[in-house]
Structure 1
Amino acid sequence: MEHSVSRRDALRYAAAASAAMAGVGAAAAAGAPHARAAAPTLIDFAAAQIPADAIRAAGHAGVINYVSLSRPGSNFGAKPITRPYAESLTKAGLVIVSNYQYGKPGGTAPSDFTRGYAGGVADAKTAWQLHTAAGGARNAPIFFSVDDDIDRQTWNDLALPWFRGINSVLGAQRTGIYAGIRPCQWAAADRVIGNSRTPGHVWAWQTRSWSNGQIYPAAVLYQRIIDTASNPGPLIGGVRVDVNDVLAQDCGQWNFHQ
């Protein structure tokens, strides 16, 4: 989809993207409402590859894209991210963050975190292969999804061993989590996710779901808008997207971890 953008808007969008790339886009303290409103935003999506110019025209600084395959019976056009697409985003001044999610509750493949230590090993190897094939930075983190409202027992019995398996391949410093507030906190406490270069922040990409209106102060990303059938997200390049606030200068973007 083509967009007509004024010169003033184009300069504003370019400045936002440059700020995120330089790691200074979210210098204000995380957790303050005005800071979140002023922060750069990244979009995440699966249905199709959204053209870089459409993302910039919508005012976003970059993307969180999948380094995982589509589940059986599905064919998501943005899974996995490809090198040509990644290069088009980078050329446009957009940043990229990597995320892994294959299974889903009630989907054709079970939630990834239920696969235990051996599953974590396998998932990390797949994620790393797809991440590097697309040109992902070797020191950048990959966020692994806990896309469900789990309790502490489920974390201890299932998700934690899965993350230990991921750590055995990538190391904790290159491991991140996508989840509600509690698993983000547990992952940090159990030291299965790494630290951002922004002081006081860890590789936690927190979703608004299952977070009871709270934001984890150490998170680097916050999924504020979630696309659902009853509450559709913004339409960009013909694709409905989720929108994420950048809460730390270093949110795991590839170009910051070359």
Structure 2
Amino acid sequence: MAQGFDCATPLTAATAAAFKRDGYAFVCRYLVPLTSWKALKKSEADLISAAGLQIVSVFETTANRALGGRNAGRADGQTAVQVAKQVGQPEGSTIYFAVDFDAQPSQMTTIIDYIRGANEATPAYDTGVYGSYAVVQAVRSAGACSKFWQTYAWSRGQVAIGIHLYQYDNGPSGQGMLINGIMVDLDESYGEEGWWNTLAYMIKPEDANEIIERFLAHEFDKASDADKIRRNQLANELRKASGQPEQIYNG
């Protein structure tokens, strides 16, 4: 499990580095038209990546946009793909589409249609949904997308099985909390969430872990303290290059 956060405020090199020092592994940012104040831009994606953080893309223009149904989903998916290419998001990673309100049972068919439309318009990317427990369950049951980011808001204490991301804290007022000078919500990742960075090359996680197990972990207990520290540093470089959180060596 990796710790992360989501925010509307663009990160600077200083804030990205501060969150990295605090132990965060990823940030969720808005993949929306670049004219928006909250939009992720290529320069920000580069500095986030350079700081060692991964990026989770979420498309949201208005909270209830999903009530526009299939045509809205197709239009938003097309826009999301255009922006993804502009900011350097690699194909095969995930774009989440937000359902950012307390969706009711009578609205689920329209919401599912919206996600289906977004999925149809983003064939080179995995498609995900952000929303409440009820939204995640409905969209998953319909087979409308493959990635799921649940918020605890409107979920009434329920957590869906098999989610990839979980937003577990929006602050005492529900408007986020101030960390490193910006308002953020807190999230957890459980793997295969489809995050990304703009580094020129990313090794597959399974390949990185095999290298770690075959070579760096070989007879680890017999190594000197200095060698253990160095092996852990090298293992963390492989973890970062494969989009995985670093592990702390405590001796």
TM-score (norm 2): 0.72
| Structure index of larger Rg | 2
Highest RCO, 1 vs 2 (Cα 8 Å, sep ≥ 6):
1
The match for 2:16 among 52, 68, 72 is 52
**Partner-residue secondary structure (3-state), 1:170:** coil
Alpha-carbon distance between aligned partners in 2 of 1:127 and 1:47, rounded to the nearest angstrom: 19
| Counterpart in the other structure of 2:72 | 119
Q: Does 2:185 match 1:236?
A: no
| Counterpart in the other structure of 1:253 | 195
Q: What are the residue-to-residue correspondences of 1:4-19 with 2, within 5 Å? A: none
CA deviation map 1:183-232 (0-9, x unaligned): 101111111111xxxxxxxx11000011111211111111011146x356
Alpha-carbon distance between aligned partners in 2 of 1:212 and 1:185, rounded to the nearest angstrom: 14
Provide closer, same or farther for how the CA distance between residues 159 and 84 of structure 1 changes in structure 2, counting only shifts above 3 A: same
Alpha-carbon distance between aligned partners in 2 of 1:147 and 1:65, rounded to the nearest angstrom: 15
**Partner-residue secondary structure (3-state), 1:254:** coil
Where structure 1 has 5 or more consecutive residues not aligned to the other structure, the ranges are 1-25, 27-39, 105-110, 195-202
Alpha-carbon distance between aligned partners in 1 of 2:56 and 2:75, rounded to the nearest angstrom: 21
Alpha-carbon distance between aligned partners in 2 of 1:118 and 1:249, rounded to the nearest angstrom: 31
Q: Offset of 1:47 from its aligned partner?
A: 2.9
Alpha-carbon distance between aligned partners in 2 of 1:89 and 1:214, rounded to the nearest angstrom: 32
Q: What are the residue-to-residue correspondences of 1:122-133 with 2, within 5 Å? A: 122-133=75-86
Q: Offset of 1:80 from its aligned partner?
A: 1.5
Q: Does 2:138 match 1:186?
A: yes
| Counterpart in the other structure of 1:42 | 4
Contact 1:178 1:205 in 2 (8 A): yes
The match for 2:61 among 70, 92, 102 is 102
Where structure 2 has 5 or more consecutive residues not aligned to the other structure, the ranges are 205-241, 243-251
Percent identical across equivalent pairs?
29
Contact 2:170 2:176 in 1 (8 A): yes
Q: Offset of 1:173 from its aligned partner?
A: 6.7
Count how many residue pairs are aligned between Structure 1 and Structure 2: 198
Q: Does 2:11 match 1:85?
A: no
| Counterpart in the other structure of 2:115 | 163
Alpha-carbon distance between aligned partners in 1 of 2:76 and 2:141, rounded to the nearest angstrom: 22
Contact 1:206 1:222 in 2 (8 A): yes
The match for 2:87 among 134, 144, 164 is 134
| Counterpart in the other structure of 2:31 | 67
Q: Offset of 1:241 from its aligned partner?
A: 0.4
Q: Which amino acid aligns with 1:225?
A: D
The match for 1:221 among 165, 184, 202 is 165
Provide closer, same or farther for how the CA distance between residues 224 and 175 of structure 1 changes in structure 2, counting only shifts above 3 A: same
Contact 2:34 2:83 in 1 (8 A): no
* RMSD between superposed Cα atoms in Å: 2.3
Contact 1:80 1:130 in 2 (8 A): no
